[in-house]
A = this chain, B = another copy of it.
Amino acid sequence: MKGTSRRPVAIETLLAEHGRLVEDALDRYLPSSDTPPQAVHQAMRHSVFAGGKRLRPILVIAAAGVVGAAPATVLPSACATELIHTYSLIHDDLPAMDNSPTRRGRPTCHVLYGEAMAVLAGDALHALAFELLVRNAEVPGCQPARVLRAIGEVTHGIGTAGMVGGQVLDLLAVGGPLDEAAVRQMHRLKTGSLIRACLRVGAILGDAEPATLEALDRYGEHVGLAFQIIDDILDVVGEQAKLGKETGSDATLAKVTFPSVFGVDRSRVIAADATRQAVEALVSLGGAADRLRDLAEFLLHRER
Contacts and interface: CB of A to CB of B under 8 A. Distances in A.
A130 interface: yes
In the assembly, how many copies of this chain are there?
A: 2
Nearest to A40: B168
Given A39-B172, A120-B167, A126-B127, 15 more contacts: A37-B169, A40-B160, A40-B168, A91-B120, A96-B116, A97-B119, A119-B119, A120-B168, A122-B123, A123-B126, A124-B159, A127-B158, A128-B160, A134-B155, A144-B148
Interface in A74-112: 87-88, 91, 94, 96-97
Contact of A168 (B94, B117, B148): B117
A131 B119 contact: no
A130 B130 contact: yes
Nearest to A166: B37
A244 interface: no
A169 B161 CA distance: 34
Interface string A150-169: 01101110111100110111
Contacts of A88: 123
A238 to B, nearest CB: 26
Contacts of A169: 37
Contacts of A137: 145, 148
Contacts of A128: 155, 159-160
A118 to B, nearest CB: 8
A31 B94 CA distance: 26
B116 A165 contact: no
A167 to B, nearest CB: 6
A8 to B, nearest CB: 37
B134 A151 contact: yes
7 contacts: A31-B160, A36-B165, A88-B123, A128-B155, A130-B130, A130-B151, A134-B152
Contacts of A44: 160
Interface string A36-62: 110111001000000000000000000
Contact of A119 (B94, B144, B145, B155): B94
A188 to B, nearest CB: 13
A96 B115 contact: yes
